[in-house]
Amino acid sequence: MQPLLPLLWAVAVLSVRVSSAPGCGPCDAAQCAPLPADGCPAGSMPDACGCCTVCAAAGGELCGGRRAAARRCGAGLECVKGDDEKKSKMGICVCKSNYEVCGSDGVTYRNGCALKSAGLAAEAQGKEPVTLLNKGRCASAPIIVTAPGQVYNVSGSQVYLSCEAVGVPTPVLTWKKVSLMKGQGMELLPGDRDNLAIQTRGGPEKHEVTGWVLISPLTSEEAGSYECHASNSKGEASAVGQIHLVESIQDVNSQLVSCGLMVFLDVYNFLFD
């Protein structure tokens, strides 16, 4: 045991010297600046001198540096420096995880660090803590982001209606033809129509789905209202579009005008009757 003692002594002295960075004066805790009242976004930690408690550098903030001025990133963040920058240079705090997460508050955060910040802010305000519910976005009912519109065309033409929906989990799209005849209700498409096809594709955005009703050739049978229906485990949404059969190609434009006029007249009647 005897020969080990000087070694232990050396280790003890060394660790004391390492724990307080060069350039640190004597510690006077009374001189420490108070932490912000609304908390630190990335938590708090002892400063480089091991004297005062300071806010850790948050995502996007500067970190690194040497001696007493050194700043460290908060938990879950790392200090990223450019390849050509030396050890003494500053870096920027970047979240170690870069995927979206869902918090217990039902909010989707862009990464775990943003969730942690929200949790610390909630804690500072004495609110419920925010914990990780799941990786990825929070589940949400579908929303129709692009509703099927109005299409005018002649018999024998090729037409389509499209519909875009977003939700988590990604919604399932279905199309129904709305029958105007009493008691017939809705017909799930494509049914047995050989001139009508349903197409669905994921995207263009994450958790989005796009669907089409494609009709060729158009006949009077297909004129009418079409409902785009999106559903997932959180709920459902729908929107209706119309296909209008017109006499001649010239009517395509005039129908658009008269349709606009009809809407105008409806609004006019509603307001002034």
Ligand X SMILES: *[C@@H]1O[C@H](CO)[C@@H](O)[C@H](O)[C@H]1NC(C)=O
Closest CA to 74 of 33, 45, 110, 98: 45
| Gap between the Cα atoms of 23 and 66, Å rounded | 9
Rounded to 5 degrees, φ, ψ at 192 are: -110, 20
Residue 157 Cβ, how far from ligand X at the closest point, in Å? 3
Pick the closer one to ligand X by CB: 158 or 184: 158
Residue 202 Cβ, how far from ligand X at the closest point, in Å? 24
The footprint of ligand X (CB under 6 A) covers: 151, 153, 157-159
Pick the closer one to ligand X by CB: 44 or 242: 242
Q: Count CA within 13 A, CB hemisphere, residue 240.
A: 9
Residue 159 Cβ, how far from ligand X at the closest point, in Å? 4
Residue 258 Cβ, how far from ligand X at the closest point, in Å? 16
Pick the closer one to ligand X by CB: 159 or 223: 159
Cα–Cα–Cα angle for 244, 172, 231, rounded to 5 degrees: 90
Pick the closer one to ligand X by CB: 42 or 151: 151
Residue 257 Cβ, how far from ligand X at the closest point, in Å? 14
Residue 187 Cβ, how far from ligand X at the closest point, in Å? 22
Task: Please check whether residue 144 is in contact with residue 230, taking contact to mean a CB–CB distance below 8 angstroms.
Answer: yes
* Count of H-run helices and E-run strands, the chain: 3, 17
Task: Please check whether residue 210 is in contact with residue 201, taking contact to mean a CB–CB distance below 8 angstroms.
Answer: yes
Q: Which amino acid is at 226?
A: Y
DSSP class of residue 115 equals: H
Pick the closer one to ligand X by CB: 51 or 215: 215
How far from each other are the two terminal CA atoms of the chain, in whole angstroms?
Answer: 105
Pick the closer one to ligand X by CB: 177 or 207: 177
Residue 193 Cβ, how far from ligand X at the closest point, in Å? 17
Cross-strand pairs, 213: 161, 198
| Gap between the Cα atoms of 142 and 42, Å rounded | 33
Pick the closer one to ligand X by CB: 15 or 248: 248
DSSP class of residue 110 equals: S
Distances (CA, A) of 61 to 42, 95, 108, 230: 10, 11, 22, 42
Find the residue with minimal CB distance to ligand X. Answer: 157
